[in-house]
Amino acid sequence: MSGCNRFGPELDAYLDGELDAETREGFEAHLPACASCSLALEKRASLDHAIALLPRVEPSPQFEARFWARMARAEEPAGWRARWFALPRLGWVAAGAALVAGLALLLSLRDPSLSAQDWAIVADAEGFELLLEADPELLAALDVLEAWSGSEEI
């Protein structure tokens, strides 16, 4: 119906027999002179015919009961989980920032007198409980002894 818009909205009503007598007669008089409306009417009629050939689907006997049960659940107030996860994104961002700040504070509170190398020795050592309060100078001396014992010169 690219060329004529005069009866566009009435095509479906005409096919369904819903037009009043005057509008129906005017549409039927218009059809022979308008190829666009005739083609659109033919396409919609073939679509109606194809739809009529489809098998009818019958819902199960429990369909209506399940439908109304779902509607009732949808109207219930949300549980605590739904309320928790419905927090605004800004709240989640703030919680994440607080977690990062807490971790940074925790890392800054560790003993600054130990170097990263000393912490690696402590972390890799067996008997971690014994080395937790070890003297940093002793750890540095152990590191030197380990490096020296690994060399081939005595």
Residue 60 pLDDT: 87
DSSP secondary structure of 31-52: GGG-HHHHHHHHHHHHHHHHHH
Instruction: Return the structure tokens found at 95.
Output: 């919680």
d(CA 20, CA 14): 9
103 token code pair: 């971790």
Q: Rounded distance, CA 56 to CA 60, Å?
A: 13
Mean pLDDT in runs of 10 for the chain (154 residues)?
Answer: 70 88 89 87 89 88 88 73 66 83 75 63 56 61 59 52
pLDDT at 149 (0 to 100)? 55
What's the rounded Cα separation, in Å, for the pair 78 and 62?
26
Q: Residue 146's pLDDT is what?
A: 59
Sign of CA dihedral 44, 49, 54, 57: positive
For residue 83, the model assigns a pLDDT of 65
Domain boundaries, the chain: 10-53, 88-150
- C-beta of residue 2 within 8 angstroms of C-beta of residue 36: yes
How far is Cα 147 from Cα 117, in angstroms, rounded to an integer? 13
pTM of the model: 0.38
CA distance 150 to 154: 10
**pLDDT, position 152:** 54
Amino acid 91: pLDDT: 76
pLDDT at residue 154, rounded to an integer: 47
Are 42 and 25 within 8 A, CB to CB? no
